[in-house]
Amino acid sequence: MTPVVERFLKYAQVHTQSDRETGLNPSTPGQLKFAYMLQEEMVAMGMDDVTVSDYGYVMGFLPSNAEKECPSIGFIAHMDTSPDMSGKHVKPQLIENYRGNDVLLSKERPYTLSPDDFPELKNYVGDTLIVTDGATLLGADDKAGIAEILTAMEYLIQHPEIKHGRIAVCFTPDEEIGEGVEHFDLKHFGADFAYTLDGGEIGEIACENFNAARAVLTFKGRNFHPGYAKDKMVNSIKVANEFIANLPAKDAPETTSGYEGFFHIYSIRGTVEETVLDILIRDFDKEHFEWRKRIVENGAREFSRKYDLPVKLEMKDQYANMKDQLEPVRYIVDIAKQAMVELEIKPRIVPIRGGTNGSRLSFMNLPTPNLSNGGHNSHGRYEYIPTSSMEKLVGLIVRIAELCTEI
């Protein structure tokens, strides 16, 4: 078993699921436990100035061994797993010499990883897959990224003949709840540019992502005894459902792809008296993004008038498309592409149908495109990652570090 696979299997079993509701930094204690575990490992392998901040950010550095001045570069991944699927008691399994067949994840659970549902599995015939047991997610998003970065750093330390500039590494908490760079110490990180390794099939390079907002609507109702409620009761649950029905039906995550945006009904909870509706708004185009927000705003006013009851709206932008921030420094994308070509990895420029730490860092004047970590089906029980992808990505990080000495 290769070092990157050993690392990932160990990391996957640490419970680091984030939580939107705690208000803590990091949001869950498991992330802090993992941060100190990573710090100990980074110190042991010989990285410099390894620290864990009060907010749970792990940073460490490799000093330059190049014979000339060259840029300081960064590699970033996040420690938390999605709050939307259990990340506790993860039991990763290795499927060796995958044959392109259905994989029953557990004898106790009726969950099957099938190429009929996920055709890209056919690309990994003969490979070793790491899968879940169907009870939890796997956590390749983004513990695979952490394992790949640290294995690459260890390789560079063990091979001083490979020249590189100063390398900064950071592992952040709470990316999955949109708070991955809230307390990122850019000054201490000190990189000229960086790369996140976060999700996606090997070869993907993402230079643009959704504009994103979250809308929380609170619908009020009037409750009466149901036997005598005629012409009196207003059921807030039904009002919220009517609001949902008025959104563009074709603009949902399950009916969109590529550069198409959407409204995602993220959660609904309520009673006759009050219902809270949580909607995620996403679009690549800034003008269309603002149009989507206006639909929600206008709808809240319209439903308040229609039922003569208040509809409270709280809307907050979460992150923006990093495309414009990266265009002036397109050469950092070209470096990644060159490294991939040299390593016989087919590069593909794709949009992120989501967000990464890199999108927000790019707006903080740290240009940070995203490189895939090799994982598939993030945030769910069908998550998997081919071991060959992880191994190739270790080499990619090493080669990028080497190419940056030629700038």
Residues designated catalytic: 80, 175
Cα–Cα nearest to 392, from 343, 357, 346: 343
3-state DSSP call for residue 114? coil
Give the side-chain half-sphere CA count within 13 A for 70: 21
3-state DSSP call for residue 112? strand
DSSP string of 18-35, one letter each residue: --TTS--SSSSHHHHHHH
> CA–CA distance from 315 to each of 67, 113, 122, 229, 242 (Å)?
51, 37, 42, 33, 20
Given a contact cutoff of 8 angstroms between Cβ atoms, the answer to whether 164 and 334 are in contact is no
DSSP lists the bridge partners of residue 59 as 51, 170
Torsional class of 139: left (φ above 0), alpha (ψ -120 to 50), beta (otherwise): left
| Tokens matching residue 69 | 């001045």
Given a contact cutoff of 8 angstroms between Cβ atoms, the answer to whether 276 and 270 are in contact is yes
What H or E segment, with its residue span, contains residue 357?
helix 357-362
Residues 6 or more apart in contact with residue 330 via CB below 8 angstroms: none
Cβ burial of 402 (10 Å; 0-12, 13-18, 19+) is middle
| Tokens matching residue 299 | 């709808």
Residues 6 or more apart in contact with residue 241 via CB below 8 angstroms: 268
